[in-house]
Amino acid sequence: MKTRTRPLAKPGIYGSEDNPQVVTVSDLKEIAETFPDIRRAPISLNGHWPDPSRPRMGNVIAVTWDEAAQILTGEAEEQDALAKAVDEGWYPDVSIGSKRRASDGKMYLHHLAYLGEEPPAIKDLIDQIMGTLAEPTETPPAPDQIAAGDEGDAVIIPPISSRILNLADKAKKPQQPHPKEGSRMPKTPEELQQELDTEKAKTLALSDQVRELTASSTSHKETMDALAAKYPDEELLLSDRADPRVTGLQAQLRRGKADALRSAAAGKLPKGKLPLLDALAGQLSLGETIELSDGDAKTKVDGFTLVTRIFESIPSPVAPGRLDLGDPAEGEPSKVTPRDHLKNL
């Protein structure tokens, strides 16, 4: 027995341009992945359709996938006669047959075909073995898990030495059969990938919009919370704060109360101090109330009303009207007005 390492298959597009055969990396990887479950696959001589009754001259005992070289490699255990024939160049090429197993649909190695010319020594040896097996006293050896003659729908993967087509011309695709009326053609991997990329882009765009809306909502809420903390006496819901009608009514009410306060303070404050009064009005609250007691009666007023009442209770330092600067006739009021007095000065 001799163990020999041989390259089994390589990905590519084989065959003719009108009948291409595609060998993918995924298929070859699956063959290497599933081989430990099979443990061995038979060697077939002179093609992929041997006589199952013929003796087996060897088995594939290991399969590996070389990622760097992109080659599926196998270790073949050869009978001495077969090993000698291979050394002498009778079987220069090999090809593999594969199937998909029912459990998970993955590819597995069905057999390995030695391609070339059968030497006389091998033919004589096989005839001798067949003659021995024909004797009634002998029982043929039990087959391994996979029979070499069980071809069925096995996929034949060409040898590496075969011509590879269209590797540089990826625009050419195998002609698809015309779909039946009412049916749909299966989508190509490129079309499926394009649809997937489009959906991913839409999802990312929606995610960005959600993040922007979330950030805007958070900022708006923080602003409203800050206003609520600054004006706790407004007693308005957060939704009401954003209502322009409520904001307008508040501004109108504040202006009315501020005008009433200025009217009450007219003539009682120097003009230079009026900006201070306006600043005070800007800080007064519309909603917060102060409880006042007048005997048993108690009333609540807001800041504007309280300050306005204070100024209203202060008497004016100068009575409006004419100035009495002279000695008018008895019983007659002065005829001199403040403006006349200023002219005389």
So where are the chain's domains?
A: 2-166, 217-316
pLDDT at 72: 95
Distance of alpha carbon 8 from alpha carbon 29, whole angstroms: 12
pLDDT category at 199 given cuts 50, 70, 90 is confident
Helices 244-265 and 274-283: crossing angle in degrees, nearest 10, is 140
- Is residue 241 over pLDDT 60? no
Cβ burial, residue 191 (10 Å; 0-12/13-18/19+):
exposed
**Out of 72-76, 264-268, 336-340, which region has the weakest mean confidence (pLDDT)?**
336-340
* Ranges of H-type helices in the chain: 25-38, 80-87, 120-134, 189-230, 238-241, 244-265, 274-283, 303-313, 338-344
210 φ/ψ angles, rounded to the nearest 5 degrees = -65, -45
pLDDT at 133: 61
**Out of 205-214, 252-261, 290-299, 327-336, which region has the weakest mean confidence (pLDDT)?**
327-336
pLDDT category at 145 given cuts 50, 70, 90 is very low
pLDDT at 219: 78
pLDDT category at 299 given cuts 50, 70, 90 is confident
Q: What is the DSSP letter of 46?
A: S
Pairing of strands 41-45, 107-115: parallel
Distance of alpha carbon 343 from alpha carbon 341, whole angstroms: 5
Dump pLDDT digits (tens) for 324-340.
555 555 555 555 555 55
